[in-house]
Structure 1
């Protein structure tokens, strides 16, 4: 049976398509799987040019570049090409490449003042977007040296000063620009912001200075109160030790500036009394108690009664009963041990002839009477006991 005309046409179309389905392709054809990558290698259609162009590997691209940067072109023409290239990168927010392009343009050292001013100003903008505010400011300054009233350079420089917290300089740049254009919105906004931040900074500085004076006055009063009580601070050597006055030369500020782990420190109350952070150490069990505000007129026994109203979980032998406890302090310089009557007040203990307050926190040893650990603890040490 003879084939119809339509069947012949369909067979011819299939034969034509088979030429493209087979393993052989026409010369220069794109790969079906990588055609987009191959297409991007054509210079006219490249999305991004390679950082380095090898004439042997990319002859077409090298040829195109030589046409663009013709050696016969003037420095002004080449610098303008780099400026336009930088602007394209800037629009794509590729600020690093924009900076490179503007820099290449400036390297041409052309005699066009306007063009060089624009190159510096545009590079300043790119540097600004990367957060390189000092570099951006240097470019703005360079642009103004070429053209003092260039508004874009002035605006960019003012913004750089603002970011660098040079508020007075930012205001000055804005005012210089506003003399050229009193209605320039960006300059008006920048000046207002810089003025507001400057006043805030000055206010905070005054407050900090006043607070510093107040704290210094309070510390002087505190040291004087300690001296009046004949309480001795540990004079540990420190570069930060400061003498408040000749009369307080023997007092160490270092002993008061160091706070405890819980942030407590000695305080002078409004009625003139002192409260101290006090540390109780239990060497038998490696335990401790901390009282953040121990009033100087309070007795040790009153605190011990409260602290041991319920026996602590580490006291398995149930022997830490207030009436059975003894209180001591150690003279680290001599290695002697002094016993303190639990009926005495903190102030009386601090006024002992060999007691030195270390790091602003009085510390005392608590031991149980007539137990083997307590007896052994004092072996080899001179103990000054209560009579």
Structure 2
């Protein structure tokens, strides 16, 4: 997938990064260490001081030839000792507090620090910025970001520990340039790394220094686009194009922003249409239920019924349609149940029992259409007998029962056990 790339300032545009230099294609010169080659072994120098006493313990056989210095220096120290010594080497340093010797000194670290502070504040900032540019050319975005951050830190540092400039005016201008370039180049790194919020902050800092910096408008608009902040992205691109109407990168960014805006608007319009349709369906359904005098109520913990619910069929927007209900047949004396997803208000209980009976678990043959009674709970918690041959609409209308969480519950009880069932339900109500 192609994308628009902005190169950092000072980038040598004559370079073609897609071509491999002939010398690189031929491999490294024969006199250079190959990847994985132990430079210490090549020079036969020990990377760490050799602990002779420990080496004697490790090398049990006195007649065995002496280990090479590199191996001996490693084998003669414990793991913790090696970690401690490596921490005193800048390349491997992870804890600067413990990087010194017994006197708290570290010659290598002091030398690197001196090099970092060598020159004026502007020259040091320039050095870090140039190292960042080199890292960008190699697509090492994290390293490049770190160098630009160091450049900015030097510029903003309160303590002036650098050399005094011979030309204060030139130094001031150099610092201003480095501040702008380091911020806008770090914005590029943040954009590549997906740190979109940080990218916009760097762009804002750049524009405070130079309101005509086109890269700041471009990178800010792209970061805002990634964050789906479309109005802000549009504004950034428009401001940039006001400065440079012919800028190809900004024109492409503006096109991407417009396309994303259109896509989001289509999604929003579809969502609004779906919400409006659902609102109309609910309004027509609730009007139909009120007209039928059917009471409904919702609780905080409705049962899981997937897409089942009360609905009007065939047309959910027509009050002349029939109402369908999800219904559960409960067999309380045997702890069993059957679920009917769409029970029309015009159907009777018998209409459904005819295809449900015989029940596969009814080994005693207690359940048949003529040998069961049907009950429903009333609003007050009592029971009513529901006629098996009455349309569901006639059972539900009138307000004696209510449909809870859009689910109609009907108890199916064998005739011989109705007394026990009624007593149990009465005891439960009183308890």
Shorter-chain TM-score bucket reads 0.7 to 0.9
Of 112, 115, 120, which aligns to 1:67?
115
Q: Output one character per residue of 1:120-158: Cα deviation in whole Å (capped at 9) or x when no partner.
A: 112222222332211111111111111112122222101
- Aligned equivalent of 1:357: 403
Of 150, 167, 192, which aligns to 1:104?
150
Distance 1:22 1:65 in 2: 42
Distance 1:202 1:152 in 2: 28
- Aligned equivalent of 2:66: 23
- Aligned equivalent of 2:348: 299
SS at match of 1:365: strand
Q: Comparing 203-212 with 223-232, which one deviates more in the overlay?
A: 203-212
- Aligned equivalent of 1:245: none
Of 314, 318, 334, which aligns to 2:361?
314
SS at match of 2:423: coil
- Aligned equivalent of 1:86: 132
Q: Which runs of 5+ in 2 are unaligned?
A: 1-43, 46-63, 75-81, 157-171
- Aligned equivalent of 2:208: 145
SS at match of 1:367: strand
Q: 2:293·2:398 contact (CA, 8 Å) conserved in 1? A: no
SS at match of 1:109: helix
- Aligned equivalent of 2:79: none
Q: 2:90·2:109 contact (CA, 8 Å) conserved in 1? A: no
Q: 1:133·1:164 contact (CA, 8 Å) conserved in 2? A: yes
Distance 2:372 2:238 in 1: 77
Of 323, 326, 330, which aligns to 1:274?
323
Q: 2:298·2:406 contact (CA, 8 Å) conserved in 1? A: no
Distance 2:252 2:403 in 1: 57
- Aligned equivalent of 2:228: 165
Q: 2:90·2:108 contact (CA, 8 Å) conserved in 1? A: no
Is 1:193 the counterpart of 2:256 in the alignment?
A: yes
Is 1:348 the counterpart of 2:411 in the alignment?
A: no
Q: CA deviation at 1:207?
A: 2.4
Of 284, 293, 301, which aligns to 2:333?
284
Change (3 A) 1:259 1:181: farther
- Aligned equivalent of 1:129: 192
The count of aligned residue pairs is: 329
Change (3 A) 1:122 1:341: same
Q: CA deviation at 1:352?
A: 4.5
Change (3 A) 1:48 1:86: farther
- Aligned equivalent of 2:58: none
Q: 1:168·1:194 contact (CA, 8 Å) conserved in 2? A: no
Q: 1:170·1:194 contact (CA, 8 Å) conserved in 2? A: yes
Q: CA deviation at 1:379?
A: 1.4
- Aligned equivalent of 1:218: 281
Distance 1:195 1:353 in 2: 56
Of 93, 111, 116, which aligns to 1:50?
93
Q: CA deviation at 1:119?
A: 1.0
Q: 1:282·1:365 contact (CA, 8 Å) conserved in 2? A: yes
Distance 1:137 1:48 in 2: 33
Change (3 A) 1:138 1:329: same
Q: Output one character per residue of 1:347-375: Cα deviation in whole Å (capped at 9) or x when no partner.
A: 0111144201100111110111124xx32
- Aligned equivalent of 1:338: 384
Distance 2:142 2:188 in 1: 11
Question: TM (normalized to structure 1)?
Answer: 0.75
Question: TM (normalized to structure 2)?
Answer: 0.68
Change (3 A) 1:33 1:381: closer
SS at match of 1:148: coil
Q: 1:281·1:289 contact (CA, 8 Å) conserved in 2? A: yes
- Aligned equivalent of 2:181: 118
What is the CA RMSD across the aligned residues, in angstroms? 3.2
Which runs of structure 2 are paired with 1:220-239 in the superposition (5 Å)? 220-234=283-297, 236=299
Q: 1:277·1:361 contact (CA, 8 Å) conserved in 2? A: yes
Q: 1:133·1:163 contact (CA, 8 Å) conserved in 2? A: yes
Q: 1:259·1:360 contact (CA, 8 Å) conserved in 2? A: no
- Aligned equivalent of 2:61: none
Q: CA deviation at 1:94?
A: 4.8
Distance 1:30 1:287 in 2: 78
Q: CA deviation at 1:173?
A: 2.0
